[in-house]
Amino acid sequence: MKVIKFKKNDGTPQLAAVKNETVVYPLPHKDFLEVIQKSEEQEVSCLAVVEEAIDQVEALPVTVEELSLLLPLEAQEVWASGVTYLKSKNARNYEAYDGKEIVEDSYYDKVYDADRPEIFLKSTSKRTIGPEQPVYLRNDSHWQIPEPELGLVLNKSGKVVGYTVGNDMSSRDIEGENPLYLPQAKIWKHSCSFGPAIRLAETVEDAYNLMITCKITRNGTKVFEDRASTSQLKRRYDELVEYLMRDNVIFDGTVLFTGTCIVPDNEFTLQEGDLIEITIPEVGTLSNPVERLEITKPVTLS
């Protein structure tokens, strides 16, 4: 069972459940956040809330492919985890240490092996976009890539209530210049996307055995494609969530990206006009075109 949000013919948003991958049922809730909150009030799972709602309505005469999908959840905050896969650690070393993937006792080696994971604030609701919306290239970076990730959807108690596809856009040159520049390498307008759906946690058989595929096309030609499994993740999801919640407040609908295991070749950088497609079959394909935002004055978030 998945939850999506789509644009109706009159332009208004509609939350819906997708059963058996094809059958679409309208939901009475405005946003998946309301599903989470109702599950807490009734002390039941989000799946139980959704099943109760669809038992009272008829399926829509449409397929998911016919719908214009929107961001399925207005997440107040999106957090992210770093250096949780070996490939990510090697890529960070390459950026920071003059093209060396293996560096004795680097700070990325230290965080990869440490008890404490790397966790950072990735985005806020005003900076986050959904499927088919453009991600933006940062104007002061010359080496930018998508980072395909599994996203955990949490309630305020830290329970994983769903899974989504995440794109943690990254400026490799900025982070490689100095690790203290991490916020600038990770956070800017339209630098974070997730969707196209939220797969309810109870309907995922094994969240440590999900295949993630990333494909990038340029002028209709594939310029990159790779895949990897969440089975390669070094850390457990509950470990990442526990550290996120230490002396911290999280909100219903907080999304936590779990790190990337797919990194394009070191010579690769995104260009305006590229199309990024990140797929987790159990969730769907998150598709975002790439644009460059020409900034002539300070950006006003809207």
What does pLDDT average to over the chain? Answer: 93
Residue 112 banded pLDDT, cuts 50, 70, 90? confident
At residue 232, the pLDDT reads 94
Buried b (16+ CB within 10 A) or exposed e, 213-227: bbbbbeeeeebbebe
Q: Which is more confidently placed, 191 or 293? A: 191
Convert the pLDDT of each residue in 15-45 to its tens digit: 999 999 999 999 999 999 999 999 999 999 9
Is the bond preceding 281 in cis, omega lying within 30 degrees of 0? no
Mapped onto helix, strand or coil, the DSSP state of residue 156 is coil
pTM given for the model: 0.93
> pLDDT value at position 79?
98
Higher pLDDT, 196 or 88: 196
H or E element in which residue 107 lies: helix 107-113
pLDDT given at position 97 = 72
Question: What is the model's pLDDT at position 99?
Answer: 66
> Picking from 111-125, 143-157, 287-301, which range would have the lowest pLDDT averaged per residue?
287-301
DSSP string, 16-53: EEEETTTEEEE-S-SSHHHHHHHHHHHTS-HHHHHHHH
More confident residue, 196 or 94: 196
Q: Give the pLDDT of residue 100.
A: 61
Q: How many CB atoms lie within 10 A of CB 132?
A: 15
Token couple for 120: 């950072």
Q: Residue 4's CB: how many other CB atoms inside 10 A?
A: 24
Tens digits of per-residue pLDDT, 138-165?
A: 999 999 999 999 999 999 999 999 999 9
Mean pLDDT value across residues 199-216: 97
Q: What percent of the chain has pLDDT over 70?
A: 95
Mean pLDDT of 230-240: 96
Determine the pLDDT at residue 51: 97
pLDDT at 302 over 60: no
